[in-house]
Amino acid sequence: MDTLVFLVAAGLARGSVLALFAISLVIVWRAARVVNFAQAAMAVVGVYAGFALTAATGSYWLGVAGAVLTGALLGVLAERGPLRLVPRDNPLPGMIVAIGLVMVLQAGLAIAFGAAHRPVPAPFPQRPLSLGGVPVLSPYDLFTLATAAVVMAGLAWMFGRTSLGLQLRAAAFAPETSRLLGVRVGRMVTIGWAVSVAVAALAGLLLVPTELGLSPHAADILFVQAFAVAVIGGLDSPPGALLAGLGVGILTSLVTGYVTAAAAPLAVLGLLTAVLLVRPAGLFAAREARTA
């Protein structure tokens, strides 16, 4: 029982980071109809910037701000630069550009900072606190969960309650109709990219202290799992990404704890396959629209 509680709690912490990263993929997919394969590389560039800022100033919070702003800036640059140059009537050219960006960014990071893992200290202790004698979550896990919750609530508020969010959603769903209503669709796509990569950079920043450390490939596994999460939840659905993220986090934690760590990726792929067989559009994809 103690093991179960511990594994579920650890899975929740990991799952919240997964969900955050998956939501960043959902945001950019909705805004630009691109699966951004460069999300991990771009996020890691942001993490490096945050890491450098923390090292220079000694402030973790300045590092967080630096990572998020760098992520947003990278999102803007990618969308205004290479992605504007390729045809956007089908998703393939955008994906190929994104894969090219991965190579450029990861090679660039390796040239600038070296390919080795740099240890990144967590801002809070990572020893699990005990709850009635059972080790549950560490202060850092709690910080991760709280940050993810605050960011997701903020995103839900922004998309659901503000004029900007309304324009972002309209531009994503119906670009031509939105233009006829005076929405600057190009600007909305750029903002979508900025928000998306900023969120991804934050997820990357939360992840690195719990892993081997910072390297150009530090977020690769996170991307693969988060992509699976986004597809399981339905690429169009932020709530789907949240629930699937927590679910996959707990699943991998349970499989790692009760079976072996090597089986965890297989469990995720198995779940992905099962979901795609039963609901190819994902668990929380929008229902068929009324057409008459």
Partner 1 sequence: MSELILERLVVGYGDGAPVLDGLDLTVADGAVVALLGANGAGKTTLLRALAGLTPARSGRILLGGTDLTGLAPEDRVRRGLALVPEGRGVVVELTVEENLRLGALWRHRGAARQRALDEAFELFEPLARRRHAAGHTLSGGERRMLALARALIAGPDVLLLDEPSLGLAPLVTAHLLGVLHETAARTGTTVLLAEQNVTGALSVADRGVVLNLGEVVADRPAAELSGDPRLRHAYLGF
Q: How far apart are CA 74 and CA 66, in angstroms?
A: 12
H or E element, residue 131? strand 130-131
**Region of 56-64, 76-84, 171-179, 208-216 interacting with partner 1 (CB under 8 A):** 171-179
Smaller CB separation from partner 1, 8 or 174:
174
Nearer to partner 1, 8 or 170 (CB): 170
When the beta carbons of 42 and 185 are compared against partner 1, the nearer one is: 185
Shortest distance (Å) from residue 168 CB to partner 1: 11
CB 277 within 8 A of CB 231: no
Candidate residues 61, 157, 173, 258; the one interacting with partner 1 per rule CB under 8 A: 173
Q: Which stretch binds partner 1 (CB under 8 A): 83-91, 170-178, 203-211, 255-263?
A: 170-178
Q: Is 285 in the site for partner 1 (CB under 8 A)?
A: no
Burial class (CB in 10 A: 0-12, 13-18, 19+), 33: middle
- Is residue 227 within 8 A of residue 241, CB to CB? The reply is no
* 278/289 with CB nearer partner 1: 289
Give the contacts of 258 (CB within 8 A, at least 6 positions apart): 3, 7
User: Of residues 177, 266, 269, 276, which one binds partner 1 by CB under 8 A?
Assistant: 177
- Contacts of the segment 275-278: beta carbons below 8 A, 24+ positions apart: 275/231, 275/232, 276/231
The least distance separating partner 1 from the CB of residue 172, rounded to whole angstroms, comes to 9
Binding to partner 1 in span 14-33, by CB under 8 A: none
Within 10 angstroms of residue 96's Cβ, the number of other Cβ atoms is 12
Taking the complex as a whole, how short is the minimal distance between the CB of residue 180 and partner 1, in angstroms?
5
Q: How many residues bind partner 1 (CB under 8 A)?
A: 21
Q: Whole-number minimum distance, CB 292 to partner 1, in Å?
A: 6
| Measured distance CA(104)–CA(241) in Å, rounded | 28
DSSP state, 130?
E
Looking at 8, 134, 174, 281, which residue binds partner 1 (CB under 8 A)? Answer: 174
Tokens 């390919």 correspond to 115
Under 8 Å between Cβ of 187 and 164? no
Stretch that binds partner 1, among 55-63, 65-73, 144-152, 169-177 (CB under 8 A): 169-177
Helix, strand, or coil (residue 86): coil
Nearest-approach distance from CB 159 to partner 1, in angstroms: 11
Q: Cβ closer to partner 1: 119 or 176? A: 176
| x-marked contacts with partner 1 along 178-207 as a string, rule CB under 8 A | xxxxxxxx----------------------
Question: What ranges make up the beta strands (E) of the chain?
Answer: 130-131, 134-135
- Contact positions vs partner 1 (CB under 8 A): 163, 166-167, 169-170, 173-174, 176-185, 286, 289-290, 292
